Structure 1
Amino acid sequence: MPEMPVYPPQLPPPDDGFDAQHVDPILRTPLGNGKTRSERLMGTVPTNLTVSYLFELAEFQLFEGWYRWVLHDGILPFRGPMKTSLGIQPALEMKITEMYSARSNRGLWVVTAPVQILKRQTISEVETQYPDEVVYTSIFDRTINQHWPKP
């Protein structure tokens, strides 16, 4: 199977602000007594978002060509940078699910595209067993960096 295309490193990553909608992994069946039976269908579900890219003209030209010729007008998934709850992930598997829209604004191009991250990004099951380490990570990092012996 051919290798998955990669988002061009010459292009800026998507802007930070977007709404993420996780696909629900649960099947809920209403019962006759008013209760609901819930069943987990999948452990790994995608996340849908609408992202915006801010391009200069030459970057926009590269993006359009890459989308058309490398992604075959959006048919193929690709690896690219995306900010998630785990921070900036440099090579997430994702797909542009519908045709993007673009508008020119004061010499820059704003491209808006619906994107699907193919695997929802969360901390691991083991990390959930140590909530203090997750919540206070920045304090631990700062303390270790300040007090770790210098070579």
Structure 2
Amino acid sequence: MTLPAYPDGLPLPLRDGYGLDKVNRIRSTAMDNGRAIQRWEFDDAPEFPSVSWIFTEPQSRLFNAWHTQVVKSGWFTVRLLTDMGFDDVTARFVESPKRAELLGKYLWKWTATLEIEFEQMLPNGWAELLPDYILNADIFDRAQNIEKP
């Protein structure tokens, strides 16, 4: 079964107020001596981006119909910016999107909190074995694609 996709004619979320909240993966147990024992609880955890859009009237009508008639409370695919770059992710609305305010004459601002199914991350081992490659990926990319087309 394919998931519904965010409509192509609608803009991506605004940068203003965009953030990716993470679930705390570290569990801490307080000891009587004042110290604490900490442990890593789990690897896979969702992220919760706070998003907002500014839509024209027709875009607002489409978005309203799409999220209430097509997606409802289910999962969908949407292109979002993460620290891995723009990526198609599987997401769902944590609660119904809010048509918060009218901007100007005919623009509508919508806000929502999404849940991204999995955190976008580099494969295991890269941070330990190839930190320079990660930090200087743009140099390697230019060397491979510009110098040697």
Residue number in structure 2 paired with 1:44: 44
Give % identity: 25
Distance in 2 separating the partners of 1:9 and 1:127: 34
Residue number in structure 2 paired with 1:83: 81
2:93 counterpart letter in structure 1 = I
1:1-151 mapped onto 2 (5 Å cutoff)? 2-17=1-16, 18-72=18-72, 75-89=73-87, 91-102=88-99, 103-106=101-104, 107-128=106-127, 129-148=129-148, 150=149
Secondary structure, counterpart of 2:21 in structure 1: strand
Q: How many residues align?
A: 145
2:56 counterpart letter in structure 1 = E
Contact 1:5–1:79, Cα closer than 8 Å, also in 2: yes
| 1:40-82 Cα shifts (integer Å, max 9, x gaps) | 221111111210112111111110001101112xx11211110
1:77 counterpart letter in structure 2 = W
Distance in 2 separating the partners of 1:16 and 1:105: 17
Shift in Å, 1:13: 1.4
The alignment's TM-score, normalised by the length of structure 2, stands at 0.89
Distance in 1 separating the partners of 2:47 and 2:118: 7
Q: Which ranges of structure 2 fall in alignment gaps of 5 or more residues?
A: none
The alignment's TM-score, normalised by the length of structure 1, stands at 0.88
Shift in Å, 1:32: 1.4
Shift in Å, 1:6: 1.4
Cα RMSD between the aligned structures? 1.4
Q: Which ranges of structure 1 fall in alignment gaps of 5 or more residues?
A: none
